[in-house]
Structure 1
Amino acid sequence: MDMEAIIRTVQTFDGATVFQPAPGSAYPEISWGDAYFYYAPDGVMPEHTQPYGTIITKDYPDDTGSKLNEPGRFRVNVNAGRDAVAELPDDLDPASVDTFIPHPLYAAGGWISVINPTTTADRLIERLRAAHDAAHARAARRSAN
């Protein structure tokens, strides 16, 4: 599944907002071309809320193990919870393609990742939907208080 298909699918989730910094925007150049998934039914990126999923298209200075600077590679990251991370082996190569891996930096926070999902695409979409639903539930709890 390519990056655009994943974005189109997430955009069908009720209340989903996909933020994609573009060249010339006020956002850091390193973020250009990446995508950030939020529960934001008003379409405005929340200022004090982390995304529940991201697509990263390049290496970041502190995150190079996935080899995203190689042509055609992207990594989908999902806040799937610590139980999802605990289900994964600890010794997975962070550059493995089409394999769920603990996020190279944020696994302790419950994040998992897949580089260039193909056979994992359906399960990835399920994880993104669950993360979206959890973000929706958190927003509902915050607005109730």
Structure 2
Amino acid sequence: MSIDEIIEFLEDLEGVLALKPGPGDGTPEIAWGDAFFYYAPDGVVPTTTQPFATIVTKDYPDDAASRLDRPGAFRVNIAAGKDAFTEWTGRTPRDPAAAGPADADPAARDAVIAHPVYGGLGWLAVVNPGPRTGEAVRTLLGTAHGLARERYRRRTAT
């Protein structure tokens, strides 16, 4: 899966707002080239919630384990929830070993892993999704979207 294919898949889901920071839009330079996905059917960036998925194209200061400094490397990050996290890692997010098994390489391509920084919050990640993980990524993104939609509905139901 390419970055463009992932973005297209997410933008086709109901109520998704995609932010793609770039030069001249007031966003920090470090975020340029990345993408952030919110459930926001009103088209307004939520101020009380995080994105349900992101695509990062470079290492961040405290997040370099995936080695996104390699040519063509990117990582899709997915807030797929406790159940999906447990299914894929064999652990609950709050488990002290939530970063995944010792042999889970955060730089491995085309493998579903616990997010190297946010695994404890139930985030999963895939560096360069490909033939082994493409369908899983779509399913996990759908799950994350559904969870974000439900959170939105709970917040706005008054």
Q: TM-score range by the shorter chain?
A: over 0.9
Equivalent residue number for residue 4 of structure 1: 4
Equivalent residue number for residue 134 of structure 2: 121
Equivalent residue number for residue 59 of structure 1: 59
Q: Does 1:110 find its partner at 2:122?
A: yes
What is the distance in 1 between the residues matched to 2:34 and 2:49?
17
What is the distance in 1 between the residues matched to 2:10 and 2:21?
17
Q: Does 1:72 find its partner at 2:72?
A: yes
What is the distance in 2 between the residues matched to 1:55 and 1:10?
11
Contact 1:90 1:102 in 2 (8 A): no
What is the distance in 1 between the residues matched to 2:48 and 2:101?
31
How far did residue 82 of structure 1 move? Answer: 2.7
SS of the residue aligned with 1:18?
strand
What is the distance in 1 between the residues matched to 2:44 and 2:154?
19
Q: What one-letter code is carried by the residue in structure 2 that aligns with 1:113?
A: A
Q: Does 1:139 find its partner at 2:152?
A: yes
Q: What one-letter code is carried by the residue in structure 2 that aligns with 1:90?
A: P
CA RMSD of aligned residues (A): 1.1
What is the distance in 1 between the residues matched to 2:4 and 2:43?
19
Moved more, 81-90 or 94-103: 81-90
Paired residues in the alignment total 145
Equivalent residue number for residue 25 of structure 1: 25
User: What is the TM-score with the length of structure 2 in the denominator?
Assistant: 0.88
Alignment gaps of 5+ in structure 1 = none
SS of the residue aligned with 1:37?
strand
How far did residue 42 of structure 1 move? Answer: 1.7
User: What is the TM-score with the length of structure 1 in the denominator?
Assistant: 0.96
Identity %: 48
How far did residue 114 of structure 1 move? Answer: 0.2
How far did residue 78 of structure 1 move? Answer: 0.2
SS of the residue aligned with 2:22?
coil
SS of the residue aligned with 2:30?
helix
How far did residue 83 of structure 1 move? Answer: 3.1
Contact 1:82 1:108 in 2 (8 A): no
Contact 2:73 2:127 in 1 (8 A): yes
Equivalent residue number for residue 101 of structure 2: 90
Q: What one-letter code is carried by the residue in structure 2 that aligns with 1:82?
A: K
How far did residue 94 of structure 1 move? Answer: 0.5
